[in-house]
Structure 1
């Protein structure tokens, strides 16, 4: 692979204009495709085949419903009731306006005696606005029309707010937090290179890669229904790894220039050595993301594939566009004044190697303690609304007037010949269950073969008591009266998705760890080095999820991440963070340990190889980790609720993995293992060598050298 990539680097140097123009054409084509073919993402999350999802589909068919809904909540002026003639007329006029909004199928009247929507004090009421479109499919124009009507109704002392599925609007990419993250990355690059030109070039090439990836995802939305988190995750990952992969190749190019190489040979060698590490590391990330498909969850598979393709583009940019641009940059990639080695990395590794047992124990115990909160992790699909938003205000008004459980009703679907009678009979049984506040009268369908029972819990939708109630309803009503009984609603869907993800996580972890172990054995031709790397990752993921639970679920340091309210993590967090962090952790394992392997392969002792490899690779790994931290952290302060906890877990996980696992635990473990660390059993020595360090690059024919020098 190293020889092939060396030739590719030499070709990019000789045909630099062609390579640059090719990538610009691809970027322009992707932009044109996104403008002409791009569609919309959806906020709906469900898993086909689950009880709650199947029940929702049947309710839509049997009851001619299922469209997205919003609750417009109205509170009377202080000291007044909504049932006075004047206020009742105001409320009726609002319902009429809501009924006529674009895309609206119906809007209920809170004062309708057959289906009242007013509290006992007659001061707070709600109108349920039902759209023709399904959940996640209400257009932005339709949402804005609803919000404008709500804003206009806030007159003469009336409080009017709105919440519900219909106004959940996907967060756009490119906010202030993300911009700060990118600026921080540029500063780190400038300090690392000692050259603003090289830093800008690094960021620019990464932007080309992530731009193509993000635009590709936008094109896909015109043909597929993608979840709103998909483009955000793809952009976040593509930007982080794009910057880092270019950093590794540029750093090796600069090293070759300092060693006296000409620009052409330096580019070829950099792509042949660092480029090989980039391809290998990128492959581990792609494997980890693509393997999300094993969970059997369509929206998770889409996220994984979209992010994996974006990573693949970032790798291609790093080994083709970066060398082409370096050819134009030449020796300007070096700082004007030679930079002195401050010895930071030498002092660090000397401290670790002086007391390897203490360093190893400190790293393991420290990460183990941080992982403790992960044992109490709870997940949900129902993120809390942003504090101060109309959704949060409406939710609070409904909770105050009707109880916390009103915001998370459970729907029980009865199907059978006597469905209505069975549902009516079950009401008394359901009312006796723990955490049940109200059971609404059964609603039969027109054919008389199905009926709906609405159960209002005492607790809120993300409460553990409400989640237990889902299981209690299913257990007590299974086969009740000979009917087919299904429990659905937002909380039930959340419980089903969490159960599926919890079941898939161990299988997924075994698969990606197994595949990566095989890849790393090929890379390092060792059993123990990959094993140490994987054990370190398990500590990283435990500490990362533990810290995330402490902040987002327990509320520790909530202000530091601009967290409105503590609660369960988003259900996607554990499996997505596991997949992404594994790939990135293996990046650092490959980049750092490959230089140690290169030194040991060159004949130095195992202990000296650790110092040599660390000295060469640690500064780049530190810069790469800080860049990734900056990019991920940029999505935390004002991030979408679904992305916020994921971005935090990735940012904190990167710090743990780079600075504790790869720069303390791994060198300490390798020092204790000595030569045994690089041992490969005789029965595995037939495995091919990937030549990650480019050991064969020195054996170049005169003809090939002339091509490289050209």
Structure 2
């Protein structure tokens, strides 16, 4: 409701078009992924509207789904058309190239999209309606953009034929001769392999440094002090805090269950104990006002067993001191009052609800990570016929997630670069952000892992040469991973200027996650560590290798090249 024109989506599309024009050198080829992604996104958004009639869907869910759908939709279509383009330049007929793009890159898109959906399905583990709505909105959008890349785009490529690469720009390649790709990427792979331990260590150090702020992560909901200055909510917050103290914006409400009807002594003891607790600015009633309250025959309800106390902290709602006060009331004051009088305290209020919600998220996170990472690991074992490669993929996904959350804490909690992105104020990180970011990031990181390592796996099966396999994997997919990650990051970062703090937060988190995972982990660390591990990358128990089906995804060997000729010419 009240949504502004989708300027963020438009800006993300413009950046994606520029990147695709530079990559493909053809107006038509650059436009096809955009067309397919928009079609899938439109269908997905209609699916979200339908789902909203049956589920509780957050108001920002359509925007978040659009952010995710636009990014993955362009990426999935990019993988298919890039595979089509490689086949055409390798001398294939256009229709045969379209069919081959579905049978190879299309399988990778299906696997990648399914991984994203499985990761998002993991949100149902939380058993919270709020997450169910977000999960369904994102899943429906990803499903439709994936189907658009698998069904609509190949049909369009077959219909257009060689016109799919028409309107060539000056830097675009000409058709009519074989153009195996990837020599520069193979040479980059050889550069990494000279001393692979160095790029591996450097990349890990960078990721670990970026992850350091994660140690200061505070989960919670920002109060109105984070709103833009001059807005009604921010003005009201400031005036209330100035006139009555910062705690008036987030009081606690305590229900006192008395041991017997109209037990005035127990109620008075609870009021005095809370009033004297550190961090309490005032209580209502105060100990001085107790005679007035006790004079009211209905003060403790109809049955005389429930009393109420409003507690105003001396700190702002999102301050750590307020959380400490809540813990003290529940863990220390309540047992003390129960031991003395038999009364029980139940502390509620907005800040208490937020704290409880955060605790639920924190306790469910390990199980969520275990399920999502475990399923992803098993899927990669099936695809790669290896134990080490899926293990490194799972571990590095967690590293990318930690680094992205570190960047998020530095920006939104510490205020770094806050002026650059138009951040009105700092505060704790929304408790559902880590779970949503990991669900999305894990699926995306598996996309890049699949497109890089499947080519390496095929070369290993063909030659048994690990070093050459790594180079040819980069030759076959390094370029498309860079393009895909650049588009994905651009789409996510395009939402950073959004006035909605929730969308801004997701934009920074997901944008930084894609940049870190693709450009540091997948394109530097993974080739380096695989070069170090050598044959161990492809170890799998023989009995398991025999029963697992073999899946071919990436292009044939005539469509990519190594850098042997370049190295030989320099020798």
Category of TM-score, reference length = shorter chain? 0.7 to 0.9
In the alignment, what sits opposite 1:436? 280
Confirm or deny: 8 A CA contact 2:41 2:73 kept in the other structure: yes
Question: Do residues 240 (structure 1) and 71 (structure 2) align?
Answer: yes
Preserved contact between residue 420 and residue 451 of structure 1 (Cα < 8 Å) = no
For residues 282 and 697 of structure 1, the distance between their equivalents in structure 2, rounded to whole angstroms, comes to 25
Q: CA deviation at 1:230?
A: 2.4
Q: Which stretch of structure 1 is more off in the superposition, 437-446 or 244-253?
A: 437-446
Moved more, 236-245 or 198-207: 198-207
1:280-302 Cα distance to aligned partner (Å, 9 max, x none)? 11111111110111122221133
Equivalent position of 1:3 in the other structure: none
Secondary structure, counterpart of 1:504 in structure 2: helix
Select which of 331, 348, 366 maps to 2:206: 366
Is 1:272 aligned with 2:99?
A: no
Deviation at 1:641, TM superposition (A): 1.9
1:414 equivalent in alignment to 2:256? yes
Q: Distance in 2 between matches of 1:231 and 1:570?
A: 18
Distance 1:229 1:692, change over 3 A: farther
2:396 aligned with 1:536: yes
Which residue of the partner structure matches residue 353 of structure 1? 193
Distance 1:217 1:690, change over 3 A: farther
The equivalent of 2:480 in structure 1 is 620
- Richer in helix (by share): 2
1:306 is displaced (CA, Å) by: 2.5
How many angstroms apart in 1 are the aligned matches of 2:334 and 2:96? Answer: 74
Q: Deviations over 1:293-324 (max 9, x none)?
A: 11222211331233123212222111101111
Could you say what secondary structure the match of 1:365 adopts? helix
Structure 1 counterpart of 2:324: 468
Aligned to 1:489: 349
- Secondary structure of 1:437's partner? strand
From 442, 452, 458, the counterpart of 2:314:
458
* Aligned residue in 1 for 2:371: 511
Instruction: Return the offset for 1:639.
Output: 4.4
1:662 & 1:408 partners in 2: Cα distance?
Answer: 45
Q: Give the unaligned 5+ runs of structure 1.
A: 1-169, 699-710
- Residue in 1 aligned with 2:469? 609
The higher-RCO structure (CA 8 Å, 6+ apart) is 2
Out of 15, 21, 28, the residue aligned to residue 190 of structure 1 is 21
Give TM-score, length-normalised by structure 1.
0.71
Cα shift at 1:448: 4.1
What do the CA deviations read for 1:33-56 (whole angstroms, capped 9, x no partner)? Answer: xxxxxxxxxxxxxxxxxxxxxxxx
The separation in 2 between residues aligned to 1:590 and 1:309, in whole angstroms, is 22
User: Cα–Cα, structure 1 residues 364 and 320, in superposed 2: closer, same or farther, change >3 Å?
Assistant: same
Select which of 259, 276, 296 maps to 2:127: 296
| Equivalent position of 1:668 in the other structure | 528
**Alignment length, in residue pairs?**
529
Q: CA offsets per residue over residues 89-108 of structure 1, 9 Å max, x none?
A: xxxxxxxxxxxxxxxxxxxx
Question: What RMSD over aligned residues (CA atoms) do the two structures have, in Å?
Answer: 2.3
Task: State which drifts further: 552-561 or 457-466.
Answer: 552-561
Q: Which range is displaced more, 368-377 or 291-300?
A: 291-300
CA distance in 1, matches of 2:491, 2:304: 56
Aligned to 1:588: 448
With structure 2 as the length reference, what TM-score do the two structures score? 0.88
CA distance in 1, matches of 2:158, 2:87: 14
Look up the match of 2:81.
250
The aligned counterpart of 1:338 is 173
Structure 1: distance between partners of 2:49 and 2:5:
15
CA distance in 1, matches of 2:203, 2:2: 38
Over 3 Å counting, the alpha-carbon distance change for 1:344 and 1:427 in structure 2 is farther
Contact 1:184 1:630 in 2 (8 A): yes
Q: Is the 8 A contact 1:238 1:314 kept in 2?
A: yes
Contact 1:214 1:310 in 2 (8 A): yes
8 Å Cα contact 1:423/1:453 also seen in 2: no
Instruction: Note closer, same or farther for the CA distance 1:318–1:173 as it changes in structure 2 (3 Å cut).
Output: farther
**Any conservation in 1 of the 2:185–2:479 contact (CA below 8 Å)?**
yes
Q: Kindly indicate whether residue 514 of structure 2 is the aligned counterpart of residue 654 of structure 1.
A: yes
Instruction: Describe how 1:113-128 pairs up with structure 2 within 5 A.
Output: none
Contact 1:382 1:491 in 2 (8 A): no
What CA deviation, in whole Å up to 9, does each residue of 1:136-176 have, x standing for no partner? xxxxxxxxxxxxxxxxxxxxxxxxxxxxxxxxxx6737543
Report the alpha carbon displacement of residue 388 of structure 1 after superposing the two structures with TM.
2.8
Q: Report the Cα offset of residue 444 of structure 1.
A: 4.7
- Is the contact between residue 544 and residue 653 of structure 1 (CA under 8 Å) also seen in structure 2? yes
Which of residues 402, 412, 418 is equivalent to 1:552? 412
Once the two structures are superposed, what CA deviation does each residue of 1:113-144 show, in whole Å capped at 9, x if it has no partner?
Answer: xxxxxxxxxxxxxxxxxxxxxxxxxxxxxxxx
Question: In 2, Cα distance between the equivalents of 1:456 and 1:294?
Answer: 36
> Take 2:512 and 2:387, find their aligned partners in 1: how far apart are those partners?
28
Partner of 2:231: 389
Report the CA distance between 1:378 and its aligned residue: 0.2
CA–CA distance in structure 1, aligned partners of residues 66 and 481 of structure 2: 21
Distance 2:135 2:204 in 1: 30
Deviation at 1:541, TM superposition (A): 1.0
Kindly tell me: are residues 676 and 405 of structure 1, through their superposed partners in 2, closer, same or farther at Cα, counting changes over 3 Å? same
Query: Would the alpha carbon gap of residues 552 and 440 (structure 1) be closer, same or farther in structure 2, given more than 3 Å must change?
Result: same
Q: In structure 2, which of residues 124, 147, 158 is the aligned counterpart of residue 327 of structure 1? A: 158
Structure 1 residue 368: deviation in Å? 0.9
Deviates more, 1:520-529 or 1:339-348: 339-348
1:627-646, aligned counterparts within 5 Å? 627-646=487-506
List aligned pairs for 1:21-60, cutoff 5 A: none
Aligned equivalents of 2:280 and 2:121: distance in 1?
A: 42
2:569 aligned partner: none
CA distance in 2, matches of 1:625, 1:535: 20
1 CA distance for matches of 2:21 and 2:62? 28
SS at match of 1:570: coil
Q: Is the Cα contact below 8 Å between 2:48 and 2:136 reproduced in 1?
A: no
Question: Which of 252, 260, 280 lines up with 2:91 in the alignment?
Answer: 260
Match for residue 179 of structure 1?
A: 10
Q: Which runs of 5+ in 2 are unaligned?
A: 286-292, 294-298, 559-571
Shift of 1:423: 4.0
Q: Match of 1:382, SS? A: coil
Q: Which moved more, 1:488-497 or 1:222-231?
A: 222-231
SS of 2:104 mapped into structure 1: helix
Instruction: Note closer, same or farther for the CA distance 1:450–1:253 as it changes in structure 2 (3 Å cut).
Output: same
